[in-house]
């Protein structure tokens, strides 16, 4: 009886209308520990993960919703210790993949078909001993990065920077914060929303900028 119920439950779970069956998209053990996914309008699923060929490198591929390999596994990081990938849509036809190597931030831009738009490039951002960062892209195809920093002179803070897709830094600001927690960045229209932890008073804080880096009236607002 229990066996029959399990079979029925499995059938319902895997064949509900609108859902696909599970498919294998990365065949390396341990590679899914840190994996990011982004879908472009052509229904191409872009993936970045730690553990390319079971090494401390960042891998990338593209699969279709059916699981077909469109762009095979390839290493996008340098041949050096790398990890902590993040990914975001750029416009409506490209993706940005970012990761850390030796405390520095690197990125690559790919179009919807996986062609390289910007090759592996280091961002002109001070190295961070913390792995806590987040980024998003705006409608002008610029990269907005927020990373937790710990400096001997300035203490703990969140560094907010804006870059062209060639890596050129257009703007940066320093927000007092905690380097142990990951800031969050979300862009909605012409507003950049940043959430982070303050130290002190140990609270979740919020600040808002426009796309040109101007701080708006909502700044250092506690969320709890």
How many Cβ atoms sit within 10 Å of the Cβ of residue 103? 11
pLDDT of 201: 62
Is residue 220 pLDDT above 70, yes or no?
no
The two beta strands, 204-210 and 35-39, are: unpaired
* Residue 205: per-residue pLDDT: 84
Three-class SS state of 62: strand
Kindly report whether the peptide bond that precedes residue 200 is cis, defined as omega within 30 degrees of 0.
yes
- CA atoms of 155 and 143, how far apart (whole Å): 25
Quote the CA–CA distance of 17 and 15 in Å, as a whole number: 6
pLDDT of residue 127: 78
Which residues is 159 bridged to in the sheet? 147, 174
Q: What is the pLDDT of residues 27-83, one digit of tens each?
A: 655 545 567 899 999 999 999 999 888 889 999 999 998 889 999 999 999 999 999
CA distances from 104 to 35, 121, 194 (A): 19, 11, 21
Q: What's the pLDDT tens digit per position in 119-161?
A: 999 999 887 766 789 999 999 999 999 988 866 555 678 889 9
């Amino acid at each position: 009886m229990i066996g029959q119920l399990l079979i029925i439950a499995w059938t319902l779970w895997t064949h509900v209308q609108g859902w696909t069956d599970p498919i294998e998209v990365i065949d390396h053990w341990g590679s899914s520990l840190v994996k990011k996914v982004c879908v472009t309008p052509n229904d191409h699923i872009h993936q970045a993960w730690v553990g390319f060929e079971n090494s401390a490198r960042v891998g990338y591929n593209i699969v279709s919703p059916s699981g077909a390999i469109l762009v095979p596994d390839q290493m996008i990081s340098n041949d050096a210790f790398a990890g902590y990938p993040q990914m975001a849509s750029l416009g409506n036809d490209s993706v940005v993949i970012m990761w850390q190597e030796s405390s520095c931030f690197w990125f690559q831009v790919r179009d919807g078909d996986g062609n390289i738009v910007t090759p592996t490039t280091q961002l002109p951002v001070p190295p961070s001993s913390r792995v806590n960062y987040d980024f998003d892209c705006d409608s002008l195809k610029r990269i907005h990065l927020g990373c937790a920093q710990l400096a001997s002179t300035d203490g703990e803070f969140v560094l907010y920077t804006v870059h062209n897709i060639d890596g050129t830094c257009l703007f940066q600001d320093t927000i007092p914060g905690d380097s142990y927690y990951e800031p969050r960045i979300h862009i909605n229209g012409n507003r950049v929303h940043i959430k982070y932890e303050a130290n002190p008073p140990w609270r979740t804080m919020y600040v808002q900028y426009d796309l040109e880096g101007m701080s708006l009236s909502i700044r250092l607002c506690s969320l709890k």
